[in-house]
Structure 1
Amino acid sequence: MGAIETRTFRSGNSVAVRLPKSFGLSAGTMVTMEQVGDTVMVKPAIDADAEKAKVSELVRRLRAIGPITPIEERAPIEFPDRTGLE
């Protein structure tokens, strides 16, 4: 999605900005705001419990795969002599 221009508006004692529905944030979503120079970034906040559950599931699946087997050695490949390809 490209840049969208909008205006700020007053909401109580604060200044607010409307986020279009296409941004995918619903009302009540926790967000993290960061100002870097004259740029303001708004990102959905990281849910620590959800992230911990994802990592736990990953670890469970990796353990289900089982231990790593030793690397098998391949027999060397012998290439035939082909004239003109040196």
Structure 2
Amino acid sequence: MNAIVTKVFKSGNSLAVRLPRELGFEADAVVQIERRGNEVVIVDAGQQQSRFQAMLKRLADMPRPAEPEQREPFDYPDRPGLID
């Protein structure tokens, strides 16, 4: 898709940009806006939330590591001259 040039305008006390239909979201969509250097990234927050929930589910379904093996205590023999 080619870059689309538009202007920023004032809407109340906020700045706004009108998104063309081909770049738009549903009318009631919740979006997450993030500045990355001189770029502004708009992501569908509902989609982000569902991906996050899916990741949490996959993590919860992962097998847990086994408990560490318990060993008998080991007494080190005296070794003169090793430690002053």
Give the TM-score category using the shorter length. Answer: 0.5 to 0.7
- 1:7-58 residue CA offsets vs partner (Å, 9 max, x unmatched): 011111000000011114122211010101111111111354x5558x98xx
Cα distance in 2 for partners of 1:29, 1:37 equals 25
In 1, the alpha carbon distance for the partners of 2:13 and 2:27 equals 20
Residue number in structure 1 paired with 2:80: none
Structure 2 equivalent of residue 36 of structure 1: 36
**Is there any run of 5+ residues in structure 2 with no aligned partner, and where?**
58-84
State how many pairs are aligned.
Answer: 54
TM-score normalised to the size of structure 1? Answer: 0.52
Two-structure CA RMSD over aligned residues (Å): 2.2
- Equivalent pair of 2:29/2:46 in contact (CA under 8 Å): no
TM-score, scaled to structure 2? 0.53
The reply to whether residue 3 of structure 1 matches residue 6 of structure 2 is no
**C-alpha distance in 1, partners of 2:17/2:5?**
10
- Identity of paired residues, percent? 41
Higher-Rg member (1/2) = 2
- Alpha-carbon distance change, 41 to 10 in structure 1, aligned in 2, over 3 angstroms: same
